Amino acid sequence: RIALQFSQSENSEYTNYAFKNKNCYLVFGGHYNEDCYHGQYTYATKDCVDCDKVEHGELAYECSSCSNIYNCDYCSNCHTCSDCAFGFDLVNCRNCFLCAGLRNVEYHILNKPYTSENYAQEVQRIKKAYSVPELLDQLEKLRLTIPNVAFIQKNCENCLGSYLQNCKNCYFCSTMTDGEDCIYMMRANAVKNCVDCDNTGYDPSELLYECIGNSGNNNCNFCFGCWHNADLEYCELVFNSHHCF
């Protein structure tokens, strides 16, 4: 059996379920990353460390469930943000520190506006006064004071589930991007007409049933760890093939 399943990668020997990575170490379920380590389910990221489910991120540390972020630390559920730290549920924000639930703002601390000059000074003061665990505890207390949506979704239509982005007609799904007409899915990207699958992506897949660890497959059922195939039934660790049973 394959000890580590990765393909078309460069200088990324210690990765698993990984595809087209470069200079990556201990990255799992990640694809198209560069100069990253200690990552899980990351996609198209660069210079990121200790991140989980981050897509199109650069210079990120300890971030989870984020997309299109730049130079962000300790952020969760943040999208299209830059130069933010200790943030939760931020969208299109810049230079925000210890903030939660904000949209289209910049230079905020604890959800209060600051001038650009005072912002940098106050951030440095807070960082010197408190440790990282203490700052995370402050963020959690702030998060509990703002409204929280029942389902965490972005650009979704007719969907039921959380951590969904750019999805349509997806029910009982979680942690999915670019999905359409799916049900009972978890951790999936670029999927269409799929049911009961886990860890699917990041290359587009369609017409999958009861599959896990698949990528770039079409019309496959009951398959595990199969990449870039078509018309498979009950297969395991099959690559670039079609019509196999």
pLDDT single digits (tens) 145-202: 998 888 888 899 999 999 999 999 999 999 999 999 999 999 999 999 999 999 998 8
Q: Closest by alpha carbon to 190, among 158, 228, 161?
A: 228
Q: What is the pTM of this model?
A: 0.89
User: Residue 213 contacts by C-beta under 8 Å, 6 or more apart in sequence?
Assistant: 5, 17, 198, 199, 200, 224, 225, 226
Cα–Cα separations (whole angstroms), residue 211 to 115, 220, 225, 235 = 52, 8, 8, 10
Residue-level pLDDT at 186: 94
Q: For residue 196, which phi and psi values (nearest 5 degrees)?
A: 60, 55
pLDDT single digits (tens) 30-76: 999 999 999 999 999 999 999 999 999 999 999 999 999 999 999 99
Distance CA 162, CA 66 (A): 13
Residue-level pLDDT at 237: 94
Residue-level pLDDT at 148: 83
> What integer is the mean pLDDT of 89-98?
97
Whether the CA torsion 212, 215, 220, 224 is positive or negative: it is negative
Residue-level pLDDT at 201: 83
The verdict on whether omega for the bond into residue 202 sits within 30 degrees of 0, i.e. cis, is: yes
pLDDT single digits (tens) 195-236: 999 999 889 999 999 999 999 999 999 999 999 999 999 999
Mean pLDDT of the chain: 95
**Tokens 């009861």 sit at which residue?**
210
